[in-house]
Structures are given as C-alpha cells and as structure tokens.
Structure 1
Amino acid sequence: MQYTIVTGMSGSGKTKVIRYLEDMGYFCIDNMPPMLIPKFSEMLTSVNGKFNNVAFVVDTRVGDMINELLAQIDDLKQKGYDCKLLYINADDETLVKRYKETRRMHPIENTNGLLASIRQERKMLSALYEASDYVIDTSHLTAQGLLQELKEIYASGDTKQGLEINVMAFGFKYGMPLDADLVFDVRCFPNPFYIDELKHKTGNDKEVQDYVMSFPKSVTFMEKLEDFMKFMIPLYIEEGKISLTIAIGCTGGKHRSVTMTNKLADYLKSCDYMVNVSYRDMGRE
C-alpha cells in the first residue's frame, strides 16, 4: 500500500490536489488528525488490498497535533509502507490575495492580521517542508499546471499520463450513451445480423470480426480512426483530461460496434494507454 501525506500552507491548493488524486484512483481523507493515521492504516490494510493508494491531508487545521505528523510518517515507513510527504506551497503575496478573494478565515488566529497568520503557519510547517519528498509551489500555477505537476509525480509508469480510456460498444436503438466524449456511428457498414450463421454470434466471435473487416471500407475506417486517436488523445492529455469515453454504435450493439470497439481497444493498448472495454447492449435481444 502506498501512502501520500499532503500538507502545506493554507490556501495553497491542497483541496484541488486531493480532488486530482481521487481522480487518479487514490482513496483520500481530508483533515486527518496525525494520531489517527496508524488506526486508519490498520483498518485499510485489513480489507485485503482494496485500497492500494491512499492520501491523507494533514495541515494546521489540526492545531498543535501537526507536530506529531513526522513521527507518524516514520512509523508507517518502519511498518514497511511506501509513504511520501507532498508539501503544497505558495508565496505570501499569493496566499493573501487568495484569502482576500475567498473571504475565508485562516486557521491560525493571529491578532496582527492575515499576513502574520500566514507567516506563523509557515514557521509551524518548516520542519515538514524540509522533510518533504515533493514540493509543489502553486503561486503561479494554473489548475492545469497543478494537475500536470501531479501527473509527473504520480502517473503510472506503464500507461501514458495516467489517462484512463473507456471504449464502449452500444446500440443506437437503445439510445445514445450520455457519458460519451466521442461517438462513432458504424451503421454504415454491412450488418452481420442478416447473415444466418452470424446472426446469433457477436463481435467477440472471430467469424463476425472476419466478416465485418472483410470490406475495404471497414479497414479504411479503422486506419482513419486510429490516426484520429493518435492526434486527439495527446491533446486531451495536454488539456488535463483524466478519463476519456469513446462510444462506437451500430443498430443493436452486438456485431459491428463490438468488432470495432475491440479493434480500437487493441490499438490503444498497443500504445500503452490504460483501456477499459464494455459492451453496453450486447446482452439485449
């Protein structure tokens, strides 16, 4: 099990960080008291590997208990856990501006004002800053820039940029998928449904695949679709997309769409993308 402890300055963007980590598949808990970390780690370990990546946000909202955090991190490491400390930072001017815009109260109450509270907090966190494995300064980062920094740290090494691609086959007669980012209509290709020996098979059967791909226009379609993906997917990654759903539809969602979905999924997997395949309507009659 891998742990990431997120800490840092109030107003630096820890909430955005935890949301991005959740999108990357992390189990996240915000505002975790350090003394509860051992109990939570035992509880999460007891559920048979259900939680592989865990992130806790621990900051000065817990008061003086923040001073216990380094000891708890050392304890996790001694127990054999992979535990990293991620410190989110921003300069004083940026933090003052953000608090003025949001009008939220700073967790450190200093009678000398907001800037004094920020400086007091920075001093409280100085040991954590020095001990951190990673530091991200968000002073001049856009939301996209922050996401890119996190991807460089956490994206899986065997997939590209941590992007998850869902390729779905569906039948138009059952309605369009509402969650699709890209939809392709393959009803223009010859339908195996009208071939007696293929009617009751699916695009997962070689006979159907061979029939669908026996037409030059089917081969040309797949070549152009692969070329389109080669161009578009890096743009989605650059834009910061975490999940992409591609839907391919035929009339019933059983023959042509399943064949094309499998072909596209195989191509994307060969490009080292993380790919999930589903056949929404294949079981329907």
Structure 2
Amino acid sequence: MRFVIVTGLSGAGRSYTLRAFEDWGYFCVDNLPPELIPTIAELCGRSNTNIEKVALVVDSRGGIFFDQLESILEEMRQRKFDFEVLFLDATDEVLIQRFKETRRKHPLANEDRTLVGVSLEREKLAEIKKISDYIIDTSNLTVKDLKGELSNVFNNDMKSTGLLINVVSFGFKYGIPLDADLVFDVRFLPNPFYVEELRKLTGNDKAVQDYVLEYKLTHQFIDKILDLLKFLIPNYTEEGKTQLIIAIGCTGGQHRSVTIANTLYSLLQKEGNWVVIDHRDIYKHIGDN
C-alpha cells in the first residue's frame, strides 16, 4: 500500500493536490487530525479493505491538533509504518497574492495581516519540512505543471496516466446525458427497428450489429469520429483533463447507438486507451424505437 501524508503552507496547492490524488484512485482524507493518522493506516492496511493507495492532508487548519504532527510521524516510524511525506511550499509573495485573489483569510492570521499568518505557519512547519520525503515549490507552477510533477512521483498506475474515456449509448427520447462532453447523433443511420426480426433485439446482438455495420455510411461515420478522437484525446490529456464522456444517441438507445458505441469502445481500446462503456437506455423500452 502507498501511504502519502500531504502537508505544507496554506495556499501552496494542497486542495488541488488532493483532487489529483483522487483522480489517480487514492483513498483521500482532507484536514485530518494528526493523532488519527495511525488509525487510518491500520484500517487501510487490513487485507480485507482492498485499499492500495492513501493520501491524507494534514495542515494548520487542525489548530492545536496540528502541533502533534511531528511526534505522530515519529511514532509511525517507530511502529514501522511505510509512509511518505509530501510538503508543498511557495514564496511569501506568491502565497499572499493567492490569498488576495481568493479573498480568503489565512487560517493562522486571526485578526492580523496575511503576512503574519504566513510567517507563523512557516515557522510551525520548519521541522516538518526538514523530514519530508518530497518538497514541491509551487511558486512558479501552473496547475498543469503541478499535476505533472505530482504524477511523476505518485502516479505509478499506468492505467490512470491517460484519460478515462466513458462511451455512453442513449436514446434521445430519454434525454441527452447531462455530463456528456461530446454528443454524436446516429439517427441518420438505417434503423433496425423497421426490420421485424431485429425489433426486439439490441445492439449487443450480432444480427443487429451486422445490419448496422453493413452500410458504407456507417463505416465512414466511425472513421470520422475515430479520426477526431485521435486528435482530441492527446490534447485533452495534455491540458490536464482526466475524464472524457462520449455520448452516442439514437431514438431509443437500443439498436444503432449501442452498436456504434460498442464499435467505438473496441477501437479505442485497441489504440491503448482506458475505456469503459455504458448502455444507459438499452432496456428501457425494447420494441419502441
């Protein structure tokens, strides 16, 4: 199990870092009191949990509890827990500017200026920084750059290094999926509904697939979508997008959309993409397409 404790200065990027860990399949906990770290380690380390990656954010928002962090880490080492400490840092100037931009109050500033809070927090974290395994200064990093740095160290799962692509078939009569990024309408393709022996079947059945895929128009359409996706996927990945939802729709979501979605799913997998498929409406109203 990989067990990462994330700490550092407020405004240095802890919240975004935790979101990145979540994208990579880590079990994440934010603003955890340090005294609970060994408990979480024990619970997640049990064989029946199937938890392989954990990321905990521990920071000065914990108030008086946060002062226990150094002693808790020492206790963890004495108990032979395997863990890593990630420390996020930034210059005072950058941190103050970020607090100005977000219009949020520094957690240690109380009624003082932001600079006072930053200075106090830096002093409190000095020893923790010294014993950290990784230190990332985010002063000059964009969100994309930060994720790249984090990925180099903490994202060893080859499956999640790319974009998660969800291919969803649906019926327009039931509405377009609200979370779709790309929507393709295949109602222009020949409809198996009008073939009596195919009407009660679905796009998961070979007879329907053969019918839809026998037309040159269908293959032209698939080729054009695939060509578009080959262009989009690396650019989405480069931009930092972690999930792409492609919705394929026909009238009822039973025949044509299912066939095209299945075909696209197979082709994208062959290209080495991380792909899952969902036929949202396939059994909602069989025979009424």
User: TM above 0.5, one fold?
Assistant: yes
Match of 2:41 in 1: 41
Query: In 1, distance between residues paired with 2:177 and 2:44?
Result: 35
Query: In 1, distance between residues paired with 2:85 and 2:23?
Result: 19
Partner of 2:77, secondary structure, is helix
Match of 1:71 in 2: 74
Matches within 5 A, 1:105-184: 105-107=106-108, 115=115, 117-159=117-159, 161-184=161-184
Partner of 1:184, secondary structure, is strand
Match of 2:222 in 1: 222
**C-alpha contact (below 8 Å) 2:184/2:249 kept by paired residues:** yes
**C-alpha contact (below 8 Å) 2:60/2:121 kept by paired residues:** yes
Displacement of 1:156 in angstroms is 4.8
Displacement of 1:45 in angstroms is 4.5
Matches within 5 A, 1:19-38: 19-38=19-38
Partner of 2:247, secondary structure, is strand
**C-alpha contact (below 8 Å) 2:34/2:72 kept by paired residues:** yes
Partner of 1:197, secondary structure, is helix
Displacement of 1:123 in angstroms is 4.3
**C-alpha contact (below 8 Å) 1:86/1:133 kept by paired residues:** yes
Displacement of 1:74 in angstroms is 2.4
Worse-matched range after superposition: 237-246 or 119-128: 119-128
Structure 1 residues 100 and 176 mapped into 2: Cα distance closer, same or farther (>3 Å)? Answer: closer
Worse-matched range after superposition: 204-213 or 247-256: 204-213
Residue identity opposite 1:129 in structure 2: K
Query: In 1, distance between residues paired with 2:133 and 2:272?
Result: 28
Displacement of 1:193 in angstroms is 1.6
Percent identity between matched residues is 46
Residue identity opposite 1:268 in structure 2: L
Query: In 2, distance between residues paired with 1:100 and 1:176?
Result: 40
Displacement of 1:50 in angstroms is 5.2
Structure 1 residues 280 and 57 mapped into 2: Cα distance closer, same or farther (>3 Å)? Answer: same
Query: In 1, distance between residues paired with 2:244 and 2:75?
Result: 38
Query: In 2, distance between residues paired with 1:69 and 1:57?
Result: 14
Residue identity opposite 2:41 in structure 1: S
Partner of 1:16, secondary structure, is helix
Matches within 5 A, 1:242-253: 242-253=242-253
Worse-matched range after superposition: 61-70 or 1-10: 61-70
**C-alpha contact (below 8 Å) 1:165/1:243 kept by paired residues:** yes
Match of 1:85 in 2: 85
Partner of 2:249, secondary structure, is strand
User: May I ask how many residue pairs the two structures share in their alignment?
Assistant: 281
Structure 1 stretches of 5 or more lacking a match?
none
Residue identity opposite 1:10 in structure 2: S
1:242-268 per-position Cα deviation (integer Å, ceiling 9, x unaligned):
211100011111111111111111122
Q: CA RMSD in A?
A: 2.6
Structure 2 stretches of 5 or more lacking a match?
none
Partner of 2:12, secondary structure, is coil
1:42-74 per-position Cα deviation (integer Å, ceiling 9, x unaligned):
334459335433211112343421212432542
Worse-matched range after superposition: 199-208 or 158-167: 158-167
Match of 1:193 in 2: 193
Query: In 2, distance between residues paired with 1:240 and 1:93?
Result: 27
State the TM-score, normalizing by the size of structure 1. Answer: 0.86
Partner of 2:158, secondary structure, is coil
Partner of 1:276, secondary structure, is strand
Worse-matched range after superposition: 219-228 or 149-158: 149-158
State the TM-score, normalizing by the size of structure 2. Answer: 0.85
